[in-house]
Structure 1
């Protein structure tokens, strides 16, 4: 598991991105779809609204292992997280995380019995963050192509979790 400081760092990377791609297994084949973060902080668990009747729910009931990816190409941020998904029917959580954005996707309101929360407990992951401008990155790539055995230094890369 990650330290509290590292969890804060991960949150700083993904909180402004807001939308991650959730990858599940659909009959053994990976399938991705966008999911919108609703929480205000990260403690090792990510929360999303979903419909109980959604295909992703059936897929996660068959195999709880999922992957979430977040990317912000403009700022050179990429995060991949792997964890276990499950439904959480706590109506207090629905109330806590309900907002106008969510309401637009669930027109029958927060009392709709098909609404539930998907809870994803993160086991491990990896993140990349470019620390320089696009111009510097292109320079590093060109330098790597000219110098045999040289790899571009584009920024930070770190694995976390187990």
Structure 2
């Protein structure tokens, strides 16, 4: 879906944010909840620990199309990623991504039968990155209001 360079660009935008809002569909209603990245690199797939019994798992099994959004207002970074969710109990991957932060949420350990990984294969997305300071952004907004032109707030790109 995107080049290795573009995947690295996306990773550089989200890796320090760490927590994205995962959107699934519950019947006809979209639902979002925070999810914490567990990987150290991005190749087009994002990984999250969850409980097999979690509602988001049932929702993703009913409709595997999901969306993740990441934002860092201080840095002016906003990323929306859409893809397909899949559940895995692959013990090698669980061992690879397990850490003390994850362990705090799963007191019975990584052998708990309810511990699974949610794999999200990204198919498309969009990202925004403000190119300047907040003061410059305010200037752009004021200028746009006086000239009836759209403010230039920075980079925006769709992919997939």
Normalising to structure 1: TM-score of the pair? 0.98
What SS class does the counterpart of residue 17 from structure 1 fall into?
Answer: coil
Displacement of 1:89 in angstroms is: 1.1
> Does residue 1:32 correspond to 2:38, yes or no?
no
- 1 CA distance for matches of 2:47 and 2:159? 19
Task: Give me the whole-angstrom Cα distance separating, in 2, the residues matched to 1:104 and 1:160.
Answer: 36
Taking structure 2 as the reference length, the TM-score comes to 0.99
Runs of 4+ in 1 over 3 A off after TM superposition: none
Per-residue CA distance 1:28-59 (angstroms, 9 max, x = gap): 10000000000010000000000000000000
Structure 2 gap ranges (5+): none
Which stretches in structure 1 are left out of the alignment for 5+ residues? Answer: none
Query: Which residue in 1 is equivalent to 2:87?
Result: 87
Deviations 1:123-144 (A, max 9, x none): 0000000010000000000100
Q: CA deviation at 1:160?
A: 1.1
Instruction: State the SS of the aligned residue for 1:152.
Output: coil
Taking only aligned residues, the RMSD between alpha carbons, in angstroms, comes to 0.5
Give, in whole Å, the separation in 1 of the partners of 2:15 and 2:114.
Answer: 27
